[in-house]
Amino acid sequence: MARSTTVERADSKARVREAILKDVQRITEIHNQGIVDRESVLDITPYPLNQRLAWFKSLSSREAVLVADMGGCVVGFSALQPFSQDDVYSHIGVATIWVEKDFRGQGLGRKLAEKVFAAARKKGFKKLMFFAYYFNREKLGFYKRLGYEEAGMLRRHAKIKDKLVDVLVMEYLL
């Protein structure tokens, strides 16, 4: 008789919780791996741990860092920050989400997103947004799946190695 085996997905094994100081090392490792692999849009150079520790210690009440904790091991994180310090934009947040390579495609990104959206609402944000390079738009599938929409394009908006490139504005209404 054939036996069926069910492999439990990471999202059902992980719990998303607020990050604590000792998580910063894993957060930095996950983020830096993405930077080395050129997955990051903005960052080119890996972060030194002491810089990330200083960042974590200086978080304001409008920021949040969440981690996906699987049996005591951090396998992903999400960070929320205001889009701008200007009052007129104070309702806009930016949420970044990173999942350890080996654990992708198992619902952790969505789980982190749902929790960070809830944290953003609680902190009074009304929308989330981010800028994406137009030439990278095929990489936006995850965000579109979450409900982000293309809000428009800014021409010649980012300078990469002296070349001006178009930037897509992505937004999500909370």
- Classified as helix, coil or strand, 37 is coil
Q: Using CA atoms, how far apart are residues 90 and 110, in angstroms rounded to an integer?
A: 25
Contacts to ligand COA from residues 28-67, by CB under 6 A:
34, 39
CB of 142 to ligand COA, least distance (A): 4
Residue from 16, 106, 115, 128 in contact with ligand COA (CB under 6 A): 106
What 3-state class would DSSP assign to 130? strand
Q: Which of 32, 109, 116, 128 binds ligand COA (CB under 6 A)?
A: 109
Q: Which of residues 121-160 bind ligand COA (CB under 6 A)?
A: 141-142, 145
Should residue 168 be labelled a site residue for ligand COA when binding is judged by CB under 6 A?
Answer: no
Tell the smallest beta-carbon distance from residue 148 to ligand COA (Å): 11
Do 99 and 75 touch, CB atoms closer than 8 A?
yes
Q: Which of 99, 167, 168, 170 binds ligand COA (CB under 6 A)?
A: 99
Contacts of 32 (CB under 8 A, 6+ apart): 46, 47
Site for ligand COA contains 97 (CB under 6 A) = yes
| Cα distances (angstroms) measured from residue 135 to each of 6, 31, 41, 100, 165 | 39, 22, 11, 24, 8
Does residue number 110 form part of the binding site for ligand COA (CB under 6 A)? yes
Given a contact cutoff of 8 angstroms between Cβ atoms, the answer to whether 125 and 91 are in contact is yes
Min separation Cβ 86 and ligand COA, Å:
22
Give the footprint of ligand COA on this chain (CB under 6 A).
34, 39, 96-99, 104-110, 141-142, 145
